[in-house]
Amino acid sequence: MVIDHPIFLESIRFIRSHLEANDLNYLEKKVLERLVHASGDFTVQNLVNFSEGACEKGIQALKNGAPILTDTDMAAAAIKSMAENTTRNKVFSARMWFGKNNQKNLTKTAYGLTEGWKELSAINSGSKSPIIVIGSSPTALTYLIDILENAKDLPSLIIGMPVGFVGVEKSKKKLISTDLPRIVLNSTRGGAAMAAAAVNALLRETI
């Protein structure tokens, strides 16, 4: 059960009253509110990009018990509490698979995330296919998309919000160019807190 602090509720009311008019649906607005809250910045409302039905697909997967796979421990930690208080989905970090990396051409995170995806998707397919959350590593996002091009199973949702300058915008544009269900924060903006906020917004809507 989620019990919100009065200050949080007041912040959300403030955000809601100051957002620009938009054509987002109810769930997309909930995600946007959390992103603004996490960043303290209203300009993110012009950066968020949703594929059609992304939020609905994400919520259904969460209700079905889909695992959540993140690129960092920080993002995982930010999601675990909300998951435990809602649908109790298991949350994993790419770090769990770092030790198996024998591919010197890949970063540890890119390797760990894709190996984690392969392992988790093998036992959680279809309506329980994992939700992927990337808030730091554009390399992991790019490599994952490459892996998925010929994959039979696909993620229920990808939160693509890596932060930084090298390869970040390119990785996001690559994700947007696919048919994969996604929530993307365009530009160089992003981070673990932002990516986790998007997932937590969906978790809230499962109760």
Please report, for the domain that includes residue 66, its CATH number: 3.40.50.10230
Q: Is residue 70 part of a domain?
A: yes
User: In the chain, which residue ranges form alpha helices assigned H by DSSP?
Assistant: 6-18, 26-39, 54-63, 73-84, 108-123, 138-148, 168-176, 192-204
- Judged against a pLDDT cut of 90, whether residue 1 lies above it is answered with no
Q: Is residue 190 part of a domain?
A: yes
Residue 153 bridge partners (DSSP): none
Q: Quick check: is 22 in a domain?
A: yes
Q: State the catalytic residue, choosing from 12, 24, 37, 188.
A: 37
CB atoms within 10 A of CB 207: 10
Condensed to tens digits (0 to 9), the pLDDT of residues 111-165 reads 999 999 999 999 999 999 999 999 999 999 999 999 999 898 999 999 999 999 9
Residue 1 in domain: no
Q: What is the pLDDT of residue 131?
A: 98
When divided into structural domains, the chain yields a total of 1
pLDDT for position 153: 93
Quote the domain boundaries for residue 77.
6-204
Q: How far apart are CA 112 and CA 198, in angstroms?
A: 22
Active site residue 37: yes
